């Protein structure tokens, strides 16, 4: 299984890192105007917004190669939670597009959202 690439420092993200937990609730509305709510999953769906800046060419190329190897949001990989170090085996990228910028020499930047699959 593929693993989310680490920076030269060994980290997978830089500060600030945003971690979210969202419940997937559904609502069914009936003809009489009442509704019924239920949870679509047993646990919250976790996601991490990973912002990377100050990347050198090697680190930025590793992120781009990882993105292409996973075919955007299609692939699955292991991701280490930067908050507690727990490894989640079944994660994917949230988007099929990657925006990467090179501002100057040794100054690349990109932003990715990693989603834990259920």
pLDDT, tens only, 23-42: 777 889 999 989 998 877 77
Cα distance between residue 117 and residue 41, in whole Å: 11
pLDDT (mean) for 86-90? 90
3-class secondary-structure state, position 12: coil
The two tokens of residue 53 are 């800046």
User: What value does the CA radius of gyration of the chain take, rounded to a whole number of Å?
Assistant: 17
Say which residues have a Cβ less than 8 Å from residue 30's Cβ, sequence separation at least 6.
36
Distances (CA, A) of 107 to 15, 68, 102, 111: 16, 21, 6, 14
Q: For the chain, what is the domain count?
A: 1
- Could you tell me the residue range of the domain that residue 66 belongs to? 2-116
Q: What is the pTM of this model?
A: 0.73
């Amino acid at each position: 299984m593929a693993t989310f690439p680490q920076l030269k420092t060994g980290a997978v993200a830089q500060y600030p890192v945003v971690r979210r937990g969202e419940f997937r609730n559904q609502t069914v509305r009936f003809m009489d105007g009442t509704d019924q709510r239920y949870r679509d999953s047993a646990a919250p769906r976790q996601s991490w917004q990973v912002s990377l800046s100050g990347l050198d060419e090697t680190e930025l190329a590793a992120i781009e190669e990882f993105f292409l190897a996973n075919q955007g949001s299609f692939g699955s990989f292991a991701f280490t939670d930067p908050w507690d170090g727990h490894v989640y085996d079944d994660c994917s990228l949230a988007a099929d597009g990657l925006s990467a910028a090179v501002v100057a020499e040794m100054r690349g930047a990109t932003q990715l959202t990693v989603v834990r699959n259920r």
